[in-house]
Amino acid sequence: MNLTRDRVRSIGWAFVLTVCAALTAGLMLRVNAVKGQVHEAERRIVNLRHEIVFLETEFKTRANQQQLKTLNDVEFGYRAPLAEQYIEGERQLAALGKPRGPGAPKPIRVANAVRETRGNALLQMVSPLSGESAAATATATATGASAATAEAPVPAQPAAKPAAAEAPSATDPVADAIAAADVADRLGRIDLPAAEAQ
């Protein structure tokens, strides 16, 4: 009988443990279902808060529009344009113009300066050595060459001596600084062809 009593006791404990495991599993499923419902409720709360913010903004905007309409009616009197107020083209716009009355101020006129350009209308760079534009240098060279051929031929050696005489000496720092400033001044200047003609 003792064997049967031990066997019945172990079967009873196994049954109790099985029932407890089933109850625990059911309870876990119920807790997970409640957690899902809580998350769904939180999501709905967030959506409702967004909708409330949207509706508050809409309400404030409409209240502001009503205030603006009241202010417009009292102060300014602006109205939306009617269909008759639109024009079809430039001729209809010109027909709306009225002649100036006596004592009316003169209309504002805008000046339009027209430049006469000879040859190239682009800006011309100034030569850093001579201080003249390229067009003036070419003209002076052509004029000087025609005058030189008319008078007498110029030897090559004497032409090189004045250029060497104009160059500052290597020992004089003041003359070097003056020459550098003069070259920098000539490099920073741009002449227009129209300015040369005037």
For residue 166, the tally of other CB atoms under 10 A from its CB is 8
19-33, 35-49, 72-86, 103-117 — which is least confidently predicted? Answer: 103-117
133 burial type by CB count under 10 A (0-12 exposed, 13-18 middle, 19+ buried): buried
Amino acid, single-letter form, for residue 46:
V
- Residue written as tokens 């000879």? 118
Taking a C-beta distance cutoff of 8 angstroms, is the pair 191, 127 a contact?
A: no
* CA 114 – CA 112 distance, rounded (Å): 6
Q: DSSP character for 97?
A: -
Tokens read off for 34: 């409640």
pTM comes to 0.30
pLDDT tier for residue 118 given thresholds of 50, 70 and 90: low
* CA 119 – CA 194 distance, rounded (Å): 10
Alpha-carbon torsion, ordered 130, 135, 137, 140, to 10 deg = -140
Tokens read off for 119: 């040859």
**pLDDT at position 146:** 54
Return the domain boundaries, the chain: 1-95, 124-147+162-197
**Tell me: the pLDDT tens digits for 19-56?**
999 999 999 999 999 999 999 999 999 999 999 999 99
